Structure 1
């Protein structure tokens, strides 16, 4: 399906929970416990109804997110149900990696196509400072186990001045002997990210070119997102840059986002959303005998959200950002 700017929308990010087992300082600082009641979180059956409606409109690629999706019981089996929907071509997941080793066999059994793992440091003490938890060994174990199993894997790193910016080369070295991509993501001014300063990718790219004169653009397709990839001579993996602030990629945006509470967001930057709850839980649409009517109503609202996608975000103009929720509540 195409939006009013003729962009092909074939990708949806499904948040299945706002809970997380870490407390990253730029996402969910320690002490935050204002969870959405479970009764207000979409059930797996409701999420699957949304996925069926989306697939019928030509959305073929699904990313399961949170919060931390693996803290929700039976997440691997939900991924398997997504994979079985006609028209779904790919199901991937974003995770902090803490539970990856434990749940990897079930994720593989249910057909997970790839995983993105967030990792901002390789120093154990600093990991605890950034995330609020001493879980770096578990994350590194999960990364290695996933690679050994042949699962496609990307690492997402957010650099911050005075926090971890000097670790850029150490993080990058993970792609030297491992078949993974390391992606540097500019910190977006959403939620608690508004209180922190980013390290801009244009600076990182310049430094990378100086350090590796043989650097080449990597034109291969690495996933569904807006990352720009480069290949370093002698490295098994590639380095990617997601530059929301200084590399605006809105012209090729192909996604919409569903929060765990049923709000379909056309753009991360703005607070407006299309509410799917009246369809998912409205008496008019309840019962399996009304499944066709419910899916048709969901398709209509998904079309509405896609039609309302703005031409671009406004992260560079902070006063115009209308999204006030934290990333865990939106779906990272």
Structure 2
């Protein structure tokens, strides 16, 4: 079975992009909205499809072992290409960029890319918010350089505090203490507020939730609990493995006085709660039981330059081909991005119940390929 799922270019998207290139529109028509009125605001850039962990919900070892599983380095966008595309996305309304993977800190000299992206400015001359999601394994040695290069914040994936549970889940025998050291280094470097994401699976790590909340009380760290999702088709997802956020909230409310918080901005993925005693906040990302497709404003750029408009997507527009083969100018790239976003109608999470079960061959983009 082939582990890596590479999305094909949907013919409708190809025709739309071709039309946009021939009928370019004047700049300045931002923000761009899709068919459901959702603006293009966030861009998640995968800088590599490689990871040093083998978490079962993303890259199960039985499928991701051996050689030849990942893209040749020549297929990856180089830093100049990433920066150029990011600049075009900013001209179309993007105001926040998140670097993802795979594990983004495995990309050689990634702090140099951070420095290049930190120079981007909106049409109004304002800096773009620049963040990064990491498993934390290399964060202790990279945090200071990332901050110096211009990174604003980091989000760290942390599925357990118990070392045995953490090693079992990452399936790389990696100690949790090293990730916690990375979190401390990020805070010391000024990469805060810092978010910690925990993918919660029933019977696997749901018993760790309370320990994580206790550990990060009275710190600038915001733990967020993510419902186990059916991203890609390689992990045999089942609904009975999902712990609904409402259930977790009920559990935590027995021990903590929690008060609801208003969203910081439209399109925020997490519902936010704060400790009544001022000890900090926690969040819940509930894509399965409380779908937030209606406010989704995130585009995704794969490591090989495909624009994917949904985390659960099956197709992507090949922007790398426009860059390398067609030699498109920025105006043409902007037209292709605008046309793709305006044609967007994705709302997988709202329609999940009517979708057939996924499998490794259904063409959905793998999480390691497009980021979480």
TM-score, with length taken from structure 1: 0.91
SS in 2 for 1:13: strand
Structure 2 residue matching 1:161: 3-state secondary structure: coil
Q: Which residue of 1 aligns with 2:237?
A: 195
Match of 2:365 in 1: 325
1:124 and 2:163 matched: yes
Q: Secondary structure at the match of 1:91?
A: strand
Q: Structure 1's 116 and 161: CA in aligned 2 closer, same or farther, altered over 3 A? A: same
CA 1:19/1:311 → structure 2, altered by over 3 Å: closer, same or farther? closer
Partners of 1:126 and 1:211 lie apart in 2 by 23
Task: Report whether the alignment pairs 1:103 with 2:138.
Answer: no
Q: Is the 8 A contact 1:23 1:29 kept in 2?
A: yes
Offset, 1:30: 2.2
Aligned to 1:288: none
Q: SS where residue 186 of structure 2 aligns?
A: helix
Deviation at 1:41, TM superposition (A): 1.2
Name 1:143's counterpart in structure 2: 183
Offset, 1:102: 0.2
Structure 1 residue 105 displacement after superposition = 1.4
Q: What is aligned with 1:89?
A: 128
Q: Which has the higher contact order (CA 8 A, sep 6+)?
A: 2
Residue matched to 1:158 = 199
- Taking a change above 3 Å as real, the CA distance of residues 301 and 135 of structure 1, as seen in their structure-2 partners, is farther
Deviations 1:222-267 (A, max 9, x none): 8974100001123532110110011111111111111111111111
Distance between the aligned counterparts of 2:136 and 2:352, measured in 1? 28
Shift in Å at residue 311 of structure 1?
A: 4.9
Query: Structure 1 CA distance, aligned partners of 2:180 and 2:54?
Result: 18
Q: Please give the secondary structure, in 2, of the residue aligned with 1:246.
A: coil
8 Å CA contact 2:144, 2:185 repeated in 1 = no
2:34 corresponds in structure 1 to: 3
Deviation at 1:193, TM superposition (A): 4.2
Give, in angstroms, the shift of residue 149 of structure 1.
Answer: 2.7
Is the Cα contact below 8 Å between 1:183 and 1:239 reproduced in 2?
yes
User: What is the DSSP-based 3-state SS (H/G/I as helix, E as strand, rest coil) of the residue aligned with 1:208?
Assistant: helix
Question: Tell me, what secondary structure is at the counterpart of 2:49?
Answer: coil
Distance 2:57 2:76 in 1: 23
Secondary structure at 1:85's aligned position in 2? coil
Q: Which one of 72, 75, 93 corresponds to residue 37 of structure 1?
A: 72
Query: 2-side partners of 1:234 and 1:19: how far apart?
Result: 42
Match of 1:112 among 151, 154, 172: 151
3-state SS of paired residue (1:316): helix
Q: Answer whether contact 1:174 1:182 (CA < 8 A) is retained.
A: no
Alpha carbons of structure 1 residues 126 and 235: separation in structure 2 relative to 1, 3 Å: farther
The TM-score, its normalising length taken from structure 2, stands at 0.82
CA–CA separation in structure 2 for the residues paired with 1:294 and 1:194: 42
- Residue 270 (structure 1) aligns with: 313
- Unmatched segments (≥5 aa) in structure 1: 286-292
Question: Matches of 1:150 and 1:220 in 2, distance apart?
Answer: 23
In structure 2, runs of 5+ residues without a counterpart are 1-30
Aligned residues: 323
Task: Name which of 19, 24, 29 aligns with 2:50.
Answer: 19
SS in 1 for 2:254: helix
Q: How does 1:234-249 map to 2 (within 5 A)?
A: 234-249=277-292
3-state SS of 1:319 partner: coil
CA distance in 2, matches of 1:128, 1:112: 28
SS of 1:27's partner is coil
What value does the CA root-mean-square deviation take over the aligned residues? 1.9
Moved over 4 A (4+): 320-323
Per the alignment, in what secondary structure is the counterpart of residue 157 of structure 1? strand
Determine the structure 2 residue equivalent to 1:55. Answer: 90
- Alignment of 1:210 onto 2:254: yes
Shift in alpha-carbon separation, 1:209–1:161, aligned structure 2, 3 A: same
> What per-residue deviation string (whole Å, max 9, x for no partner) do you get for residues 110-148 of structure 1?
111110100010111111111012231210101112122
